[in-house]
Amino acid sequence: MGTQSIRLIANNKKAYHDYFIEDTFEAGIALAGTEVKSMRMGKCSIKESFIRLENGEVVVYGMHISPYEKGNIFNKDPLRARKLLLHRQEINKLAGKMKEKGMTLIPLRVYWKGSLVKAEIGLARGKKLYDKREDIAKRDQRREAEKEFKVRNLR
């Protein structure tokens, strides 16, 4: 496998705040031509999107791809459900994991891999409010330590 350039299109930072990411998968996305052109211009959002398994297929909902300006009648609905392309054994593995309580699939980022649009999807477990507070406390603690370290080194 050659070294292909990876260019980020969209990132879901909120996912890491709201979920514990257990495992990640790379999937292709079935897109229409005008959607690909819109993606080239970076017009994609995955903030409110989620993924479901439906009759052996993986489908992403709520992924917003803005209509392509010069696309006129060929433009598709910006929020339509899009099929994710995975190998059968990956889909079966995901289906097995999804049966566990509290497990969900969420898109983490969308990017170009060479000339192909790929989505990184995460098998995630929802965080409770106290987990989020714990993360915020750890982050603040680290920030304080860094600040203290910086002040100490300046003297």
Query: Which of 100 and 71 is assigned the larger pLDDT?
Result: 100
Q: How far apart are CA 11 and CA 56, in angstroms?
A: 26
Model pLDDT, residue 107: 87
Q: Are 105 and 54 in contact (CB under 8 A)?
A: no
Query: Which of 8 and 154 is assigned the larger pLDDT?
Result: 8
- What pTM was estimated for this model as a whole? 0.66
Burial 22-45 (b: 16+ CB within 10 A, else e): eeebebebebbebbebbbeeebbb
State the CATH class of domain 7-127.
Answer: mainly beta
Q: How far apart are CA 127 and CA 70, in angstroms?
A: 42
Q: How far apart are CA 122 and CA 118, in angstroms?
A: 13
Q: How far apart are CA 13 and CA 141, in angstroms?
A: 21
- Mean pLDDT score of the chain: 78
Model pLDDT, residue 104: 81
Handedness of CA 136, 137, 141, 144 (dihedral sign): positive
Cβ-Cβ contacts under 8 Å for 143 (sequence gap 6 or more): none
∠ CA 6-11-17, nearest 5°, is 135
Q: Are 124 and 22 in contact (CB under 8 A)?
A: yes
Q: Are 81 and 53 in contact (CB under 8 A)?
A: no
Residue 74: which pLDDT band, with cuts at 50, 70 and 90?
A: low
- Domain ranges in the chain are 7-127
